[in-house]
Structure 1
Amino acid sequence: MKKNIAIIMGGYSSEYEISLKSGNVVYQSLDASKYNSYRVHIFKEKWVYVNDQDEEFPIDKNDFSTMVNGTKISFDCVFNAIHGSPGEDGFIQGYFQLLNIPHTSCNMYQANITFNKRDLLSILKPYAIKTAESYFLNLGDDINEDAIVAKVGLPCFVKANKAGSSFGVTKVYKKEDLKNAIDIAFKEDDEIIIESFLEGTEVSVGVITYKGETKVLPITEIVSKNDFFDYNAKYLGQSEEITPARLTPDQEQKVTQLAKKVYEVLKMKGFSRSEYIFKDGEPHLLEMNTIPGMTKESILPQQAAVAGISLTDLFDSAIEEALK
């Protein structure tokens, strides 16, 4: 009997449009001979199943089911394609855990700490994971620009602590521009992380659980046409993404081992994509995404293709792992 799979997409953050694209790619790619696929839009104002005629059927949050023409539909597994809150920060994971519904993403704790850039770096610090210098601010804190520059230098990056797709990120060259960059970041989150600029080769590393094993996908080198790998570079073609990356064998070995170590130290499962910059020959971790983009332009699907893994196989494996 075919399994009922809910593909959740949308979300509460600025990333909702990207999430809808990712979710639709998953919907189009799942093996129809194995799964009945249902697109479920999750927004603050409504949770609804949307059929191919764009008719909407409310989701009952008591048991995550829906009624369609008098028939109750329950789900065997949830494919999580929500970037940002509540799909990537642990909230939806906790909800499904309470309902005992399998899902394709990592567990609640792992989602929460990886979504919080500051917490992620703090947890990995004892494991000698190299990172940029950082300075933290919360909304309402006094802003001491001299202290910030003394800690992280210039140029630096001002980032919303809990946001993705480069929303709320500004590269700052002059001290007098810090305040405006901080204001931009606070529009996305009430916590900020300010990091030193690392000059070097930037790479993106997909690590997934595939057919029961931790697998590091072919590495992607990021060459942005803009000042950094911002939203336009990620989604509007303003970057060159080279897979496999142009790394020396030593660099490739180092970042592969490190990315696998980070995945396993954090007890991750499902998909992940981490960003690293090489400084003085050593990879420095920037951040980890646990619900990476699945659009046609997204990096992880490109990496899977180079590894000889089709989207259908990639998504099928994620569901099979969840159903275990």
Structure 2
Amino acid sequence: MKVAIVFGGAGSERMVSVASAQHMSTYLPEAELWHWLPDRRVQWVDRARLLTHPNPFINPLEPDEHRQPLAVDIDDALEQARQRHLTLVLALHGVDGEDGTLALLCEEAGVAFTGSGSRASRLAFNKLATKTAVQACGVPTLPHLVLSDDGARLDAWGRHWLSECAGVVAKPVSDGSSYGLFMIRSADQWERFLRQPPEVPYMIEPLLNGIEATVGVIEHDGLVALEPVEIRLPDATDFDYISKYLNQVEERCPSTLPSQIVKALKSYAIAAHQAVAAEGYSRSDFIVRDAEIIFLEINTLPGMTQASLLPKELAVANIDIRTFLLRQILLGQIRMARGRFAELATTP
């Protein structure tokens, strides 16, 4: 089997990508390891160097300047993959991965790859567009505003949510789920946020108390929703990059949620997967308040690190990670063999 795990990229979640590649490579020892550097070169990485790289969530994997790059840029790398009939296992998160950038380049180059196609990833990466898509399928979502809305209206709703809910959450419209979050719990914090707003588009939602839950969906003899992970946060803790990846939360799988809630979560996760036309696998995040379930977002390239949620769900389902990855590789190869890339790359 000729495969390469591609990781890194230029986005804010490139260190998570390194951690995913570390974990995935232990189950695919035959895979080449391609590090897509922030300067856009692609470098082949020695397996031992990757596996012994310490604390990848906080320590960047620096380029090995003693080694010649595999390719001067990703286009050159993809041409090599095409000529060698390699299938690429995508382990990128955030920009370059979840946003469909590399998927589109693979489609245009005719290179098989794992995960969703570019259109699905591009849609899922845009939280506003995703909301519209899942709402049309009957999946409940939160009310929202965007930072560019009328200032007086934005301020009024923000203050309303501060008084009636747990606060306000502001998140980038198009970015991963671990960076750039603002959890606003006071009028002073809200005023400071409005005075010095981020320069990129932001979505504003009410912050709700409740149980966070996440549900993986995989293609495994049809679409299968895995057992939800129930996420319990200590008091005054936000589910951000630090708490997610540095083990500051309690994650229960199987969950202790009532069976009817679990059934509904699985149904909504499959509906969200289908709404964005995801392929291979995805992970949808929700908040549960008593009998109420609210969709937060979907990820078409969820983390596969040792600390990630999808591997926990696969373990509960008694699906070995190597078996899962080999299935994803096969799905990518079938997609290419059916000649779908040209259609996907050119259809608006």
Please identify, of 158-167 and 241-250, the stretch whose mean Cα deviation from structure 2 is larger: 158-167
Aligned to 2:288: 278
Contact 2:171 2:182 in 1 (8 A): yes
Farther off after superposition, 85-94 or 56-65: 56-65
* Paired residues of 1:168 and 1:184 also in contact (CA < 8 A): no
Aligned match for 1:39, one of 14, 33, 40? 33
How has the CA–CA distance of structure 1 residues 107 and 66 changed in structure 2, closer, same or farther, with 3 Å as cutoff? closer
1:42-84 Cα shifts (integer Å, max 9, x gaps): 13413323232653433261461459xxxx9734211111001
1:172 corresponding residue in structure 2: 184
The reply to whether residue 51 of structure 1 matches residue 60 of structure 2 is: no
Q: Is residue 23 of structure 2 the alignment partner of residue 14 of structure 1?
A: no
Counterpart check, 1:208 vs 2:218: yes
Return the alpha-carbon distance in structure 2 between the equivalents of residues 206 and 184 of structure 1: 36
SS of 1:98's partner is helix
Kept in 1: contact 2:170–2:202 (CA 8 A)? yes
What amino acid maps onto 1:305 in structure 2? A
Partner of 1:123: 133
Please identify which structure carries the higher strand content: 1
Instruction: For 1:66 and 1:162, locate their aligned partners in 2 and report how far apart those are by CA, in whole Å.
Output: 30
CA contact (8 A) 1:132 1:284 kept: yes
Displacement, 1:149? Answer: 2.9
Deviation at 1:282, TM superposition (A): 2.5
Aligned partner letter, 1:49: Q
C-alpha contact (below 8 Å) 1:294/1:300 kept by paired residues: yes
Distance 2:262 2:157 in 1: 36
Q: 1:279 to 1:7 in 2, by over 3 A?
A: same
2:122 aligned with 1:112, yes or no?
A: yes
Distance 1:287 1:274 in 2: 6
1: CA distance, partners of 2:328 / 2:192:
41
Q: What displacement does 1:235 show?
A: 0.3
On the 8 A contact 1:168/1:186 being kept in 2, the answer is no
Distance across 2 between alignment mates of 1:78 and 1:201: 36
**1:157 aligns with one of 150, 169, 172:** 169
CA–CA distance in 2 between the matches of 1:222 and 1:185? Answer: 30
Secondary structure of 1:127's aligned partner: coil
After TM superposition, the structure 1 stretch with the greater mean CA deviation from structure 2, 260-269 or 102-111, is 260-269
From the superposition, tell whether residues 99 and 92 of structure 1 become closer, same or farther in structure 2 (CA, over 3 Å). same
1:127-174 deviation digits (Å, cap 9, x = unpaired): 221111211124x98574224334785411111222224211121112
Pairwise CA distance, 1:302: 0.9
1:244 counterpart = 2:254: yes
- Counterpart mapping for 1:305-324 below 5 A: 305-324=315-334
C-alpha distance in 1 between matches for 2:68 and 2:195 = 38
Q: Quote how far apart the aligned CAs of 1:185 are.
A: 7.2
Give the whole-Å Cα distance in 2 for the aligned partners of 1:224 and 1:295. Answer: 20
Residue 261 of structure 1 deviates from its aligned partner by 1.6
Alpha-carbon distance in structure 2 between the residues aligned to 1:46 and 1:83: 16
Q: Does 1:64 align with 2:74?
A: no
* Letter of the 1:310 counterpart: D
CA contact (8 A) 2:12 2:95 kept: no
Gaps of at least 5 residues in structure 2 are: 50-63, 335-348
For 1:81 and 1:146, how far apart are their aligned partners in 2? Answer: 41
Shift in alpha-carbon separation, 1:167–1:182, aligned structure 2, 3 A:
farther
Separation of aligned partners in 1, 2:208 and 2:314: 28
Partner of 1:228: 238
Contact map agreement 1:158 1:181 (CA 8 A) in 2: no
Amino acid in the other structure paired with 1:51: V
Which letter does structure 2 place at the counterpart of 1:223? R
CA contact under 8 A between 1:251 and 1:281: conserved in structure 2?
yes
Deviation at 1:179, TM superposition (A): 4.4
The amino acid across from 1:298 in the alignment is S
Preserved contact between residue 169 and residue 185 of structure 1 (Cα < 8 Å) = no
In the aligned structure 1, how far is the partner of 2:314 from the partner of 2:68?
Answer: 33
- In structure 1, distance between residues paired with 2:112 and 2:230: 33
Instruction: Please say if residues 168 and 185 of structure 1, whose CA atoms lie closer than 8 Å, have aligned partners that are also in contact.
Output: no
Distance of aligned partners of 1:163 and 1:307 in 2 relative to their CA distance in 1, 3 Å threshold: same
CA distance in 2, matches of 1:185, 1:50: 40
Aligned residue number for residue 88 of structure 1: 98
Flag the 1:197–1:38 CA change in 2: closer, same or farther, 3 A.
same
Equivalent residues of 1:78, 1:102 under 8 A apart:
yes
Percent of aligned positions with the same letter in both sequences?
A: 26
Whole-angstrom CA distance in 1 between matches of 2:33 and 2:177? 22
Amino acid at match of 2:140: K
Contact conserved, 1:221 with 1:241, CA < 8 A, in 2?
A: yes
User: CA RMSD, aligned part only?
Assistant: 2.4
